[in-house]
Amino acid sequence: MRIGFLQLRPRFGAVKENVRKATATLERISDATIVLPELFNSGYLFRNEEELASIAETVPGGFTVSEMQKLAKRNRLNLVFGMAQKHRGKFYNSAVYVSSKGTVEVYQKVHLFDREKLFFTKGSSFKVVSAGDAKLGLLICFDWVFPEVSRALALDGAHILCHPSNLILPYAQDAMKTRCIENRVFAITANRIGSERRGATSLAFTGKSQIVNPMGEVLASASDRSESLRVVEIDVGEANNKNFTPNNNLFDDRVPPLYAALVRKRR
Ligand code: ACM
């Protein structure tokens, strides 16, 4: 199957412009599974909840998902993208999956980063979705720092970790190689580039989107300064082999009774 990322530089608040730029670029390809950055349609640095409320959309039904559904069906694309979601009076930093048939599923970010905690509500479950024969595990940006997320997604059958991101620190790309090795899965990290200055706060985003295979090898990567669309061909079946050596299976060799500390609240 063909998988890829679209690395972008969104302009804060310019939802229609950001969506049109992404769909115009993706119009050039078909028959692929593509990951876009976190909050790709809006930009990242919301000043307050009022501003977030004016930009967040319902899923499905809003402008962004409708445009992505049309593109997905037209070009037989499976799309994973980050956007601010309005749901029952709350706001979520969400990853939306639109299949090539136009169906929609949502993962709401569980591990909120820094000021996201001021106005987003955290999600309460993880999500694995089907893309043909492949299963996609959804996580968003800072979720990478919690290895339990990738493990839970892999145990639930994910072959490919789809990781929309707005990374500002340099660690995730290395960490995701490890997540791939320890779970024998593929990972697509779709980051953004550019910077945002809003009031007294400014952030620079680090690009370097990448696709990694179950051996931790980088199949494609982007720079930290240009928008970029990359697509590679993979054999997704490689992610079904959890044998690390002839005598070690990464899932069967686990000893869950010894892992109680992982599900205990901090002492
Ligand atoms: C992040 O979670 N956007 C760093």
In tens, the pLDDT along 195-204 reads 999 989 999 9
Give yes or no: 127 in active site. no
pLDDT digits (tens, 9 = 90+) for 6-19: 999 999 999 999 99
Could you tell me what percent of the chain has a pLDDT over 70? 100
Q: Give Rg (Cα) of the chain.
A: 18
In the chain, the amino acid numbered 124 is S
Rounded Cα–Cα distance for residues 196 and 201 (Å): 8
Distance CA 35, CA 86 (A): 21
- Ligand 1 in contact with 143 (CB < 6 A)? no
Q: Ligand 1 pocket, 142 CB below 6 A?
A: yes
Say yes or no: CB of residue 91 within 6 Å of ligand 1.
no
**In the structure encoding, which two tokens stand for residue 95, read together?**
């990853």
* Active-site position among 21, 57, 86, 109: 109
Mutate to test the pocket of ligand 1, among 141, 143, 208 (most ligand atoms within 8 A of CB): 141
**Whether the predicted pLDDT of 266 surpasses 90:** no
DSSP designation for 251:
T
The two tokens of residue 216 are: 């931790």
Residue 246: per-residue pLDDT: 97
Pairing of strands 2-7, 32-35: parallel
Q: Measured in angstroms, how far is the CA atom of residue 223 from the centroid of ligand 1?
A: 19
Domain ranges of the chain: 2-242
Over residues 83-94, mean pLDDT: 98
User: β-pairing, 243-245 with 248-249?
Assistant: antiparallel
Fold of domain 2-242: Nitrilase/N-carbamoyl-D-aminoacid amidohydrolase (3.60.110)
Whole-number pLDDT of residue 232: 98
141 catalytic residue (yes or no)? yes
